[in-house]
Amino acid sequence: MKLAYYPGCTLHGTAREYNASTKAVCKAAGIDLVEIEDWNCCGALEAIFDKELSMGLSARNNFNAQDTGLPLITPCSICSHNLSRADTAMKTDPAFRAKIEKALGKKYEGVKIKHLLDVIVNDLGIEAISKKFTKPLKGIKSVAYYGCLLVRPSEVSKFDNPENPMSLDNLIKSTGAECLPFAQKTKCCGGNLLMNKQDYAFLLSKNIFDEAKARGANCVVVACPMCHMLLDGQQAMIEKAHNIVIDMPVLYFTQLIGLSMGLDEKELELDKNMVSTSKLIESIGREEVKVDVKAEPKAEKAEVAE
């Protein structure tokens, strides 16, 4: 399988381990990634409310993908949302299309845009990829955290149930790791409030950890660099703000399945996560895994999903 690849800005910066593990996993799974030429920022969450600008910036990347003649994939939920939204607008809104075609002097034909998780779970298929999972991840008790834009709005994302998605759960389970029920799997982490309302962003993220702890999880698995920025990058700040200990590794799903493929930890850049992943990795294959329950779990919240 050959695909055009749009990493997006964060994968060349704060989410470099997502980029490294995506490349490693795709290579091992027989997916050939061709990074598109001279790509630009999709507008991210900062331009998401400026609809035309966000779609205009994204459309330029779609044009560059169109030149490859391949379907376009990205591991970032925000990029995937913005690029897909732009593709739809270019096909259905003639006034917008005229503006962008004028700016770039090219004709738009359309590009198939997908999130990496969608490609792995639905195009490649769990059955096919799980044949490469040589190392069962016994001892990992995870919760799958989808966040917002990976599955919402469903008219843009299209590949899983927006209220109770299961694709990531099913992929995790196929590695031999546990994936626990999680009521907050699609609840917002507060990423877009990090700069202007940090206390709210931290509270939303703390709620996610509270439930994960109450469930007995020893890690959170994500598919979005912004969710990771909050849950992993800001975890120490959340602990400080709420005077609690969380100490919970947050893995990109590519890092998790990479481990199951027996790929090298360095290649998956598991040392680049801000919260140390070493204790979790050491525990794989062992019977009992110690779970830190110092953060007070909210029992009533945990019951909602059952």
Partner 1 sequence: MIKSSELDPNFKYEIAKEPGGENIKKCFNCTGCTVGCPLTEIDKGFNPRKIIRKALMGMRKEVLSNDSLWLCASCYTCYERCPQDVKITEVIGAIRAIAQREAEAGKIKINNPKPVFDNLFINSVKSNGKWYEAGVSGTFMLKTKGLGGVIGYAPMGLSLFKKGKLSILPHKIKGTDEIKKIFEEVEKK
Task: Report the residue number, 51 or 132, with the smaller CB distance to partner 1.
Answer: 51
- Alpha-carbon span 285 to 137, nearest angstrom: 6
Cβ 199 to partner 1 shortest distance, Å: 9
Instruction: Determine the interface stretch with partner 1 among 65-73, 96-104, 121-129, 253-261 (rule: CB under 8 A).
Output: 96-104
> Where do we find the tokens 């204790």?
279
Strands (E), 38-176: 72-74, 113-115, 141-145
* Least distance (Å) between residue 158 CB and partner 1: 12
Nearer to partner 1, 135 or 298 (CB): 298
- Distance CA(45)–CA(19), nearest Å, equals 19
Instruction: Find the binder of partner 1 among 166, 272, 284, 297 (CB under 8 A).
Output: 272
Query: Using CA atoms, how far apart are residues 136 and 117, in angstroms rounded to an integer?
Result: 20
Is residue 100 near partner 1 by the rule CB under 8 A?
yes
Nearest to 179 by CA among 126, 128, 246: 126
In the complex, minimum distance from the CB of residue 80 to partner 1, in angstroms, rounded to a whole number: 13
Q: Determine the Cα–Cα distance for residues 71 and 65; give it in Å rounded to an integer.
A: 8
CB nearer partner 1, residue 163 or residue 264: 163
56 binding partner 1? (CB under 8 A):
yes
Q: Is 195 in the site for partner 1 (CB under 8 A)?
A: yes
Element (H, E) at 221: strand 219-222
Given 30, 34, 46, 282, the residue binding partner 1 (CB under 8 A): 46
60 is a site residue for partner 1 (CB under 8 A): yes
Q: Judged by CB under 8 A, which of 22, 192, 254, 283 binds partner 1?
A: 192
Cβ neighbours of residue 170 under 8 Å, at least 6 residues apart? 121, 126
DSSP 3-state of 65: helix
Query: How, if at all, do strands 219-222 and 250-252 pair?
Result: parallel
The interface with partner 1 within residues 145-164 (CB under 8 A) comprises 148-149, 152-154, 162-163
> Which string of x and - marks every residue 104-143 that binds partner 1 (by CB under 8 A)?
x---------------------------------------
Q: How many CB atoms lie within 10 A of CB 292?
A: 12
Q: How far apart are alpha carbons 137 and 141 in whole angstroms?
A: 9
Contact of 257 with 171, CB cutoff 8 Å? yes
Q: Which is nearer to partner 1, 81 or 141 (CB)?
A: 81
Residue from 30, 32, 34, 49 in contact with partner 1 (CB under 8 A): 49
What distance in Å separates the CA atoms of residue 253 and residue 21, rounded to the nearest whole number?
9
Q: Min. distance of Cβ 189 from partner 1 in angstroms? A: 9
Binding of partner 1 by 103 (CB under 8 A): yes
Per-residue tokens: 166: 């299961």
Min dist. Cβ of residue 153 to partner 1 (A): 5
Report cis status (omega within 30 of 0) of the bond before 153. Answer: yes
Binding residues for partner 1, per CB under 8 A? Answer: 9, 12-16, 38-41, 43-53, 56-57, 59-60, 99-100, 102-104, 148-149, 152-154, 162-163, 186-188, 190-193, 195-197, 200-201, 203-204, 233, 237, 272, 274
